[in-house]
Structure 1
Amino acid sequence: MPLTQAASLIQVVVHLENGEPVFSYQTTSGQPLDNGDVTVTEAGTITYQLIDNTGKGLKFTGVGFITPFDGIIDAITISSDGQLVQMLDMDRSAGTTKFQFVLSNAANTLLVLSPDPEVKNDPTP
């Protein structure tokens, strides 16, 4: 079930399985969240916190959107240490947008892409 709260903190947990990064999402209390999806019913900020269990020095470097001009997410900021991504959602446009986190690592110069969580703006929760 997606989290329904605009001012929320979602942990992005990454670990390795057979040498490949595997992503999961949870609340700060450890409750699993399906795919990191969020339903927004009012303007606010969605914060994703990286929990790197890979030992590879992962950091957020960006967020790529499949539909960057749909007006669902209004702005993105990444903390200077690469551990937090904040998405500003003014909840002005109804609909759903999908995105992928882009992460760097300390082992090489290749970038890691997450599976695609989504943010849904829903004026009727």
Structure 2
Amino acid sequence: MSTRASEIIQVVVNLENGEPVFSYQTPGGEPCTGDVTVTEASTITYQLQDNTGKGLRFSGVGFITPFDGIIDAVTVSSDGQYVQMLDMDQTAGTTKFQFVLTNSTNTLLVLSPDPEVKNNPK
């Protein structure tokens, strides 16, 4: 199930057997894939819900195809709790990405599974 770009998607991180496990929720708390379909220029917002006790923070977003023109810009909030992606919806197609997170336990980075953004320009 794809979420509308206007909704804030919760990125929930839990620890299972000492390892981070990612899931995604709609603003109403319903499970979702984290994928977004865009049909007009939008800002896609992801909010971190860290249940690990490890002080996770967004530090960026990594793209497999960073020059495909699907996402136009990425901003991370100063507190590391939000990522916003600007999508002008001018290029049709799909892009996959991974959230990059820091933690307060060590200097290693944490990567999320890869949700995707699909552009369907009108």
TM-score range, shorter chain: over 0.9
- Match for residue 8 of structure 2? 9
* Residue correspondence of structure 1 range 95-106 to structure 2 within 5 A: 95-106=93-104
Once residues 122 and 90 of structure 1 are traced to their aligned partners in structure 2, the CA distance between those partners, rounded to angstroms, is 11
| Offset of residue 28 of structure 1 | 1.4
- Match for residue 80 of structure 1? 78
Q: What is the aligned-residue RMSD (CA, Å)?
A: 0.8
- Match for residue 67 of structure 2? 69
- Match for residue 120 of structure 1? 118
Deviations 1:81-111 (A, max 9, x none): 0000000000000000000000000000000
Once residues 29 and 18 of structure 1 are traced to their aligned partners in structure 2, the CA distance between those partners, rounded to angstroms, is 28
| Offset of residue 122 of structure 1 | 1.2
Once residues 114 and 64 of structure 1 are traced to their aligned partners in structure 2, the CA distance between those partners, rounded to angstroms, is 10
Give 2:24's aligned amino acid. Answer: Y
Deviations 1:32-77 (A, max 9, x none): 112x101111111000000000000000001000000000000000
Matched, 1:20 2:19: yes
Once residues 123 and 102 of structure 1 are traced to their aligned partners in structure 2, the CA distance between those partners, rounded to angstroms, is 28
TM-score w.r.t. structure 2 length? Answer: 0.97
Once residues 100 and 54 of structure 2 are traced to their aligned partners in structure 1, the CA distance between those partners, rounded to angstroms, is 14
Matched, 1:31 2:46: no
| Offset of residue 19 of structure 1 | 0.3
Once residues 90 and 100 of structure 2 are traced to their aligned partners in structure 1, the CA distance between those partners, rounded to angstroms, is 26
The aligned length equals: 122
Give 1:23's aligned amino acid. Answer: F
- Structure 2 unpaired stretches of 5+: none
- Picking from 56, 71, 76, the partner of 1:58 is 56
Give 2:20's aligned amino acid. Answer: P
Give 1:15's aligned amino acid. Answer: N
